[in-house]
Chains A and B, each alone.
Chain A
């Protein structure tokens, strides 16, 4: 049983989410992975630390999925976000949207990711290769 909306310190794996989201009604499953990049604007990054207000973030993720469902004909949605220290190349967030058709699945996945950035209480601290660190705000 895959919980649809999760904040976790454990590494993220897209395969179980895609399997959990897909039903026989769906012709499309979009899986978006947000991964840790080795630079920001050309400045080298060493690693990232993510933090969440977990008790609020989970219901906010559910709210965002409901917003998407009101806009597009989509099926199941899963969003898993990792917190804690993440190394370059690790997955920070997975957004999975299943739908009868791909247009809605792509649009809803993009919308959900944008809204996570806007309102989900989840923060990213950039640790630069030179040793400095700052919250990305």
Chain B
């Protein structure tokens, strides 16, 4: 098992109700799988699926990125508008 910290920002934090949380996951869990788990836990996050950026340890990742123990994960909701 691995433990990761998930940071929540903006609309995600409003839905989840906190700025960060720790998750204990099976070894080999990917970013995409963790996101699916979060959507199950917080169904209101579902609207963000497909329009997110993924980050691990402050670097952009992919849904297929495999997580490691101690990682800091962020699911980055669409960033601010304006033109």
Contacts and interface: CB of A to CB of B under 8 A. Distances in A.
Interface in A107-137: 116-125, 135-137
A117 B58 contact: no
A50 B74 contact: no
Contacts of A124: 80-82
A120 B58 CA distance: 11
Contact of B74 (A34, A53, A116, A118): A53
Interface string B38-58: 000000000000000101001
B74 A136 contact: no
A59 B58 contact: yes
Interface residues of B, number: 18
A117 B82 contact: yes
B58 A122 contact: no
B79 interface: yes
Contact of A137 (B10, B59, B60): B10
Nearest to A49: B10
A113 to B, nearest CB: 9
Contact of A121 (B11, B14, B74): B74
A102 to B, nearest CB: 23
Given A119-B53, A121-B53, A137-B81, 7 more contacts: A56-B55, A56-B58, A56-B74, A59-B58, A59-B59, A118-B79, A121-B79
Interface of B: 7, 9-11, 14, 53, 55, 58-60, 74, 76-82
Interface of A: 34, 50-51, 53, 55-56, 59, 116-125, 135-137
7 contacts: A50-B80, A59-B58, A117-B80, A119-B79, A123-B77, A124-B80, A137-B10
